Amino acid sequence: MAIMYQAPSSLILSLFLFIGFLSSTSESALVKYQFDVQVKNVSRLCHSKPIVTVNGMFPGPTIYVREGDRLLINVTNHAQYNVSIHWHGLKQFRNGWADGPAYITQCPIKTGHSYTYDINVTDQRGTLWWHAHILWLRATVYGAIVVMPKQGASFPFPQPNQEANIILGEWWNTDVETSVNQANKLGLPPPQSDAHTINGKPGPLFPCSEKHTYAMEVERGKTYLLRIINAALNDELFFAIAGHNMTVVEIDAVYTKPFTTKSILIAPGQTTNVLVKADQPPNRYFMAARPFMDAPVPVDNKTVTAILQYKGVPNTVLPILPQLPRPNDTNVAFNYNNQLKSLNTPQFPAKVPTKVDRHLFYTIGLGQNSCPTCLNGTQFAASLNNITFVMPQVGLLQAHYFNISGVFRANFPDKPPVPFNYTGAPLTANLGSSLGTRLSKVAYNSSVELVLQDTNLLTVESHPFHLHGYNFFVIGSGVGNFDPAKDPAKYNLVDPPERNTVGVPTGGWTAIRFRADNPGVWFMHCHLELHTMWGLKMAFVVENGKLPSQSILPPPKDLPPC
């Protein structure tokens, strides 16, 4: 049964019940969307400019689907840029063709052309999101994905009365692509954003933004599920609601052991579902977010706000501001992340690999490479194991599937070429990296442990890493240099959080494990757009298994040509 949606916006539980009624006649539904990528003039912060949108909406439409459904999203490109869209967190079993990162699993959709992403939503439920995966277009091209449980299945937490999407983003007054291109020519970072946004709106603490404020009406005594997404390009964010506690129940579309907190920390690429009870005196309360940055790196440090408004309270009442953690409060960040645990019940087990077939150790570095035409004769570069990734001109998945030679080498090193004191005194000499399109080949169904180590090349900094095609278990993290003799003894192999995007702490390390049971070419990169642009990325080639059901599916006929 096909269900066709053009562009739903403020649909909530009633829609899910309707979809449930439709899809209960069969095991799964066929859900279709039409995404028209088009330019539209939008005004924010007293400035108007043309931005790239989907269906003229900013943020774009929410995708509603049920676990087990098949999803067809036809993307037609009417904009002047080449476009591709990534369905962030959907695992795409054997089907990298629908994953979306440009020049990794597909070539982009050219102006005037279309491509249909054909996705089976398997063994996942919760909040994910979609965004452009080329250039810096995800500054405006993004939206939520809401995967409801299978028909008849319920949440493993109290059923909310209502729910809302809270999408955190960034806004630039200038044209983002123009600013980025100018900065790259000079070898410098582009300017920081002029504001953060909640559902595309900066809120009343910014100029000309009284009318650009997201407001959510609540009734006293009712419980609300907030689906929070960090779609910002370059900032980890603290988020809080004045006067209200939040109960965290899910991260990256995986249920967690519930815990209550006054604020959450959410990195670019991550999603967090929280329950909020409207149990305070009727009033207007600010929901607010601002960056977390505990390194000497400049950020857009202004506070974005939206309003939680109790029914019957007039709009003339001034909202109350929450107490957000200090922008550099490392302790709050560590304590929050340490509370995240998988549910690990018989229905939702945490299948942590206990035996490891392959140990990987990747150092994260910032540096400078020679650039004769740049302002200072150098340009910034970022690297993993001292390799700055060079994007190919052919999709890596096509090159792998069709055995096209000369596109990439499968010799990405398992460890850095030269060990050093990774988090000692800042290193400001020998900051050059080697350039290459180098991938790591992984045997099908092998278990992989990867330790990501921040370094003090130029500066330490927190890095949110996203792995396409997989969830992974975050089994440990710490400050300083990873110690292979002592640190594994502290791993959580019982109920570690399961995610698709994880923060590597400033001047520290994070250890993850996953089973390589999804054949294909899968991108892994820092989800700070600045660092990805500078080369902080690589990809895994996960080989086919022995059976046809363990092999990459053939490419679709409408796959965009290179």
Return the closest-CA partner of residue 178 out of 136, 138, 142. Answer: 136
Q: What is the 3-state secondary structure (H, E, C) of 164-209?
A: EEEEEEEECCCCHHHHHHHHHHHCCCCCCCCEEEECCECCCCCCCC
Per-residue DSSP letter, 550:
G
> In this structure, which amino acid lies at residue 175?
D
- Edge-first strand listing for the sheet containing 263-266: 215-218, 304-310, 284-292, 236-241, 263-266
How does pLDDT run across 51-73, given as a tens digit for each residue? Answer: 999 999 999 999 999 999 999 99
Compute the distance between CA of residue 291 and CA of residue 228 in angstroms, rounded to an integer. 15
What digits encode the pLDDT tens for the residues 261-309?
Answer: 999 999 999 999 999 999 999 999 999 999 999 988 887 789 999 999 9
The H or E element that residue 63 is part of is: strand 63-66
Nearest alpha carbon to residue 58 among 142, 124, 119: 142
Q: Note the pLDDT tens digit of each residue in 374-431.
A: 988 999 999 999 999 999 999 999 999 999 999 999 999 999 999 999 998 887 777 7
**Residue 463's pLDDT is what?**
95
C-beta of residue 191 within 8 angstroms of C-beta of residue 174: yes
Domain 30-148 grouped into CATH 3.40.50.2300: no
The fold adopted by the segment(s) 358-550 is Immunoglobulin-like (2.60.40)
Does the pLDDT value for residue 128 go beyond 90? yes
Question: Which of 21-35, 43-57, 411-425 holds the top average pLDDT?
Answer: 43-57
Structure tokens at 506: 């400033």
| Confidence category of residue 498, pLDDT binned at 50, 70, 90 | very high
pLDDT of residue 458: 81
C-alpha span between 262 and 143 (Å, rounded): 26
Instruction: Write down the mean pLDDT value for the chain.
Output: 94
- Residue 8 — very low, low, confident or very high, per pLDDT cuts 50/70/90? very low
User: What CA–CA distance (Å, rounded) separates 343 from 347?
Assistant: 9
Please check the confidence at residue 18 and state whether its pLDDT lies above 70: no
Mind listing the pLDDT tens digit for each residue in 451-497? 999 999 888 889 999 999 999 999 999 999 999 999 999 999 999 99
| pLDDT for the residue 14 | 38
Do the Cβ atoms of 383 and 427 come closer than 8 Å?
Answer: no
pTM: 0.95
Q: What pLDDT does residue 224 have? A: 98
Chain mean position to CA 272: 11
pLDDT digits (tens, 9 = 90+) for 353-369: 999 999 999 999 998 99
Q: What pLDDT digit, counting tens, does each position of 415-463 carry?
A: 999 999 999 888 777 778 999 999 999 999 999 999 999 999 888 889 9
Same topology between domain 30-148 and domain 358-550: yes
Q: Where are the domains of the chain?
A: 30-148, 162-339, 358-550
DSSP element (H, E) containing 306: strand 304-310
pLDDT at 20 over 80: no
Q: Which of 437, 48, 378 is nearest to 189 (CA)?
A: 378
The topology (CATH level 3) of 162-339 is Immunoglobulin-like (2.60.40)
Query: What percentage of residues in the chain have a pLDDT greater than 70?
Result: 95
558 pLDDT higher than 50: yes
Question: If you count them, how many residues does the chain have?
Answer: 562
16 pLDDT more than 90: no
Structure tokens at 84: 């591709």
